[in-house]
Chains A and B, each alone.
Chain A
Amino acid sequence: MNRVQKQSQIAIIVLKAIAGFVVLILAFLIGYIFITGLPNVSWKFLTSPAKAFSSGGGIGVQLFNSFYLLILAMLISLPIALGASIYLNEYAKDNWFTSMIRTSIEILSSLPSVVVGLFGFLLFVVHYNFGFSIISGALTLTIFNLPLLTRNIEESLASVADDQRQGGLGLGLSKYETIIHIVVPAALPGIISGVILCSGRVFGEAAALIYTAGQSAPALNFGDWNPFNIDSPLSPLRPAETLAVHIWKINSEGIMPDLTQVSSGSAAVLVLAILIFNLSARYIGRKVFEKMTSMN
């Protein structure tokens, strides 16, 4: 018996070591990113345009593009994901049609993002002739985002107690009215959390954008907010390299002398942004929940 007990103790120590090792890996990664990267991040870095050949370039345009694409992609995917989740959670019956739909969504979510990007390239850049542009990138990101967002919203809807729906129906409301005016508002904390979490994922995505939003970031005239002008930041037809794509690009073909600094600074900004997204998803979700059910 003693041998077996000793084995057990050793095994437990090994397990603790493994877990500790994993924590160390993360600590190393985060540490490396921030320690090498943050010193390179300054206000100038965050706002000035990139320089291809000389040092001192920043990520201003790329940062703007990342946010612009994120907001557009979310605006487009939210209604679609909401409609799809509502149908799946409230209307769909347990039949072959529903299974088929769920399987397609699963397939979509398991596609490598580079494949989604290539599809976006085929459809938006080439076939619809939008070229490398914001609109191609935003639509491709929407496709990339839909499965996870749909699943998140579906879970939020499912977590709303059924007696809320019964209450709405009992007052003479239709199922759809009940969903829109009672269930969705009640599921709002979860939906908001889901949106913010998906935003983090979209913000860091690059493979889907390399061949849709493109790899170039032409100078933008931040004084001109007319979306119809090609050098306006809001113009949807202009190519738009994002922060994540920028990191990839300069590490593949970059020749500026301060390449490493720009890289590490960009990586730090990117990871910081995603961290903020992840933390605020939880925090904001909780805050909304408290406001909805409390003394206010």
Chain B
Amino acid sequence: MQDQKLAKQLFKKSKTARYERFGRFLCLCALLLIMAIVIGIILFIATKGMSTFLKDHISMKDFFTGTLWNPGTKTPDGHAAVGALPMILGSFLVTILAAVISTPFAIGTAVYMTEISPKRGAKILQPVTELLVGIPSVVYGFIGLSVVVPFVRNVFGGSGFGILSGTFVLFVMILPTIVSMTVDSLKSVPTYYRQASLALGATKWQTIWKVVLRAATPGILTAVVFGMARAFGEALAVQMVIGNASLMPHNLISPASTLTSVLTAGMGNTVMGSMQNDALWSLALVLLVMSLLFNLLVHFIGRKGAFSK
């Protein structure tokens, strides 16, 4: 009963089928290209960064605990002066300080936007947040240089360059990041939580503090970690106000340095292949590893939380 002509037509692989295979393959290639890029970045920087230890035979202990950064020379007690501790400390200090100052403001703003005045939140604060994110980091650096540094100099003394200025600049830079992610996680707290709390007689603030914020805690933690990751990796804005002195930071108002600031300032002044240059790549590797760790931290918090997006 089979119509042979019909059967043949139905069995032939049409142009459509070939086009489908081709198109799908093309898209897969694009995706794999991105993955190759990521792997490439990690491999390249890891190789270059490890050459300080493997090729130039610097000990990791000297690198991570040494306090003098002057690659090519030796410290008074005979170690290679490849101590990255000042920069590591500097990076951590500005990051943590900026996060500590920024988080209360960010949470406050986010709470205002979602709990107190959603309409004004959407109309005014949402664009404000987006605009703050959109300002490029060089401009933040420039304003840091022309406004924050003189301010710190006049109010706190010193040259104005240093950890404090870096903190102020980063505070504004990571604020919108923490705000928008906190807003997302506040919005995902179910409405009936608030309704139940108010119905039990709690005040608005009690509801916010004891119920909403508690439920949104994983999301807020994620937001803060994201903000910290951004601060840790920020290069230009920090470099323009931190003073770039590779000394151990001994107070907030004397010039210091971070991993990113030394990298930015130093890469152009060293020769490829030299030990000084390799040492810089090790700093870059530390940056890379830290950003991967921040990423891991976010995943870890996300898995433990119940309401994060």
A251 near B31 (CB under 8 angstroms)? no
| Complex A-B, nearest 10 residue pairs according to Cβ-Cβ distance, in ascending order | A112-B233, A204-B136, A83-B30, A176-B23, A18-B108, A8-B203, A8-B205, A174-B20, A114-B235, A11-B205
Q: Are A87 and B172 in contact (CB under 8 A)?
A: no
Return the CB mask of A225-249 against B: 1 if under 8 Å, else 0.
0000000000000000000110110
The answer to whether B31 and A32 have CB atoms under 8 Å apart is no
A219 close to B (CB within 8 Å): no
Instruction: Determine the distance from Cα of A107 to Cα of B295 in the docked complex, in whole angstroms.
Output: 7
Of all chain A residues, the one with the shortest Cβ separation from B139 is: A267
CB distance from B198 to the nearest CB of A (A): 11
Decide: B24 and A87 in contact? CB cutoff 8 A: yes
B263 at the interface (CB under 8 A from A): yes
Tell yes or no: B75 within 8 A of A by CB. Answer: no
Residues of B contacting A87 with CB < 8 Å? Answer: 24, 27-28, 30-31
Q: How far is the CA of A14 from the CA of B208 in the complex (A)?
A: 13
With A22-B175, A248-B236 given, can you name 5 additional A-B contacts, CB distance below 8 Å? A87-B28, A104-B39, A114-B236, A118-B281, A147-B34
List of A residues within 8 angstroms of B137 by Cβ: 204, 206-207
- The reply on A278 being an interface residue by CB < 8 A is yes
Q: Convert B33-60 into 0s and 1s, putting 1 for each residue whose CB lies closer than 8 angstroms to a CB of A.
A: 1110111110011001000000000000
Residue-wise, chain B 169-192 has the 8 Å CB interface mask toward A (1 for contact) of: 000100100010000000000000
CB distance from A231 to the nearest CB of B (A): 24
Contact of A146 among B34, B130, B132 (CB under 8 A): B34
| Interface: B145 (CB within 8 A) | yes
Q: B131 to A30, Cβ gap below 8 A?
A: yes
Chain B min CB distance to A113 (Å): 7
Contact A115 B147 (CB under 8 A): no
Docked complex Cα distance between A5 and B202 (Å): 9
0 or 1 for each of B262-305: is its CB under 8 Å from A? (1 = yes): 01110110001000000001001001100110110000000000
In chain A, residues 17-66, which have Cβ atoms closer than 8 Å to a Cβ of chain B?
Answer: 18-19, 21-23, 25-26, 29-30, 32-33, 36
Whether a CB of chain A sits under 8 angstroms from the CB of B11 is no
Contact (Cβ within 8 A) B134 A278:
yes
Interface residues of A in 54-112 (CB under 8 A from B): 79-84, 86-88, 91, 100-101, 104-108, 110-112
Partner of B138, one of A8, A200, A248: A248
When the two chains form their complex, are residues B291 and A18 in contact, meaning their CB atoms are under 8 A apart?
no
Complex CA–CA separation, A267 to B108 (angstroms): 30
How far apart sit A196 and B42, CA to CA, in the bound complex (Å)? 29
Contact B139 A177 (CB under 8 A): no
Partner of A19, one of B125, B139, B287, B294: B125
| Known contacts A8-B203, A278-B131, A126 near B272 by CB under 8 Å | yes
Contact B31 A101 (CB under 8 A): yes
Whole-angstrom distance between the Cβ of B33 and the nearest chain A Cβ:
6
B256 at the interface (CB under 8 A from A): no
Contacts of A172 in B (CB 8 A): 16
* Residue A138 is within 8 A (CB to CB) of chain B in the complex: no
Q: How far is the CA of A14 from the CA of B105 in the complex (A)?
A: 10
Q: What chain A residues lie within 8 Å of B235 (beta carbons)?
A: 112-114, 207
Q: Which residues of the partner chain B approach A161 to less than 8 Å between Cβ atoms?
A: none
Within 8 A of A (CB), among B123-152: 124-125, 128, 130-132, 134-139, 141-143, 145-147
Judging by beta carbons under 8 Å apart, are A91 and B27 in contact?
Answer: yes
**The residue from B142, B206, B229, B295 contacting A263, defined by CB atoms under 8 A apart:** B142
- Residues of the B chain whose Cβ atoms lie less than 8 Å from the Cβ of A16: 112, 116-117
Q: List 19 A-B contacts (CB under 8 A).
A: A7-B203, A16-B112, A19-B121, A104-B35, A108-B37, A110-B229, A111-B233, A114-B233, A119-B40, A121-B267, A122-B48, A143-B37, A176-B22, A204-B137, A205-B136, A206-B137, A206-B138, A267-B138, A274-B134
What is the distance, in angstroms, from A82's C-beta to the closest C-beta of chain B? 8
- Chain A residues with Cβ below 8 Å from B267 are 118, 121, 211
Is A288 in contact with chain B by the CB < 8 A criterion?
A: no
Q: How far is the CA of A205 from the CA of B134 in the complex (A)?
A: 11
B26 interface contact, C-beta 8 A: yes
* Complex alpha-carbon distance, A83 and B26, angstroms: 7
Contact partner of A271 among B139, B141, B147, CB < 8 A? Answer: B139
Chain B residues in 8 Å Cβ range of A174: 16-17, 19-20, 23
Query: Closest Cβ of chain A: how far from B58's Cβ, in Å?
Result: 19
B48: A residues at CB distance < 8 A: 122
Which residue of A26, A91, A206 is within 8 Å of B236 (Cβ)? A206
Which A-chain residue is minimally distant from B111 (CB atoms)?
A: A15
Q: Is the CB of A5 within 8 A of B139?
A: no
Whether a CB of chain A sits under 8 angstroms from the CB of B113 is yes
Pick the contact of B29 from A14, A83, A275, A278 — CB < 8 Å?
A: A83
Quote the shortest CB–CB distance from A182 to chain B (angstroms): 13
Inter-chain contact A180/B23, CB cutoff 8 Å: yes
Does A4 have its Cβ within 8 Å of any Cβ on chain B?
yes
Known interface pairs A87-B30, A206-B136, A270-B139. Does A22 touch B125 (Cβ–Cβ under 8 Å)? Answer: yes
Q: Is A152 an interface residue (CB 8 A)?
A: no
B111 partner residues in chain A, CB cutoff 8 A: 15
B134 → A minimal CB distance (Å): 5
Q: Which residue of the partner chain A has the closest CB to B292?
A: A107
